[in-house]
Every structure is written in structure tokens, then in C-alpha cells.
């Protein structure tokens, strides 16, 4: 994996050297993570505009939701904190 790219993504994905498709996907993922109730049909339209179909949008949404879920479970149980 390109360590420079990883560092740029960790620092600020909005300024990382990624494709327009990857940027739109990450914008969507961030919004789902921060407040999924604010997702609108415009988000899905933008994902389609950059090449994602309904199946891709579903997969992005499910993977994002799963990671958010499992991280909250781990946080609540103190995983990694030695609780």
C-alpha cells in the first residue's frame, strides 16, 4: 500500500490525491457516520453521477453502517482499553 496516500487520507481525505469517485464515496461515508438522517436523494444522485449503481450504493452503505456498529460495540465494551 502507498504509505504516502495512507498518510494523506488519515490527515484529511478531502485534500488527498484520490479520484472524484473516491471523494464522493468518502463524503457519503462521512455523512452516514456523522448523521445518517441527513442523507438525501441528492447524495445517491451524486454517487450515481460518479459511477456507482444501486448495488454499489447499498454495499457502501452496509459496510459503513457495519463498521460504525462494530466500533460502537467495541467502544461500549472497552475493547482496546483493557476494561
pLDDT, tens digit (0-9, with 9 covering 90-100), for 61-81: 999 999 999 999 999 999 987
Q: Is 78 helix (H, G, I), strand (E, B) or coil?
A: coil
pLDDT, tens digit (0-9, with 9 covering 90-100), for 15-31: 999 999 999 999 999 99
Q: Is 16 helix (H, G, I), strand (E, B) or coil?
A: coil
Residue (of 4, 2, 3, 52) closest to 28 by Cα position:
52
The model's pTM: 0.88
In angstroms, the CA 6 to CA 11 distance is 9
In angstroms, the CA 6 to CA 4 distance is 5
The structural domains of the chain, with segments of one domain joined by +, span: 3-77
Confidence of residue 82 (pLDDT cuts 50, 70, 90): low
Amino acid at each position: 500500500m502507498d504509505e504516502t496516500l495512507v498518510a494523506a487520507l488519515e490527515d484529511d481525505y478531502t485534500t488527498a490525491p484520490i479520484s472524484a469517485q473516491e471523494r464522493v464515496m468518502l463524503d457519503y461515508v462521512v455523512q452516514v457516520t456523522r448523521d445518517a438522517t441527513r442523507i438525501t436523494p441528492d447524495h445517491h444522485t451524486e454517487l450515481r453521477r460518479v459511477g456507482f449503481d444501486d448495488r454499489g450504493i447499498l454495499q457502501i452503505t452496509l459496510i459503513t453502517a457495519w463498521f460504525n456498529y462494530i466500533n460502537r460495540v467495541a467502544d461500549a465494551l472497552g475493547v482496546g482499553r483493557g476494561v
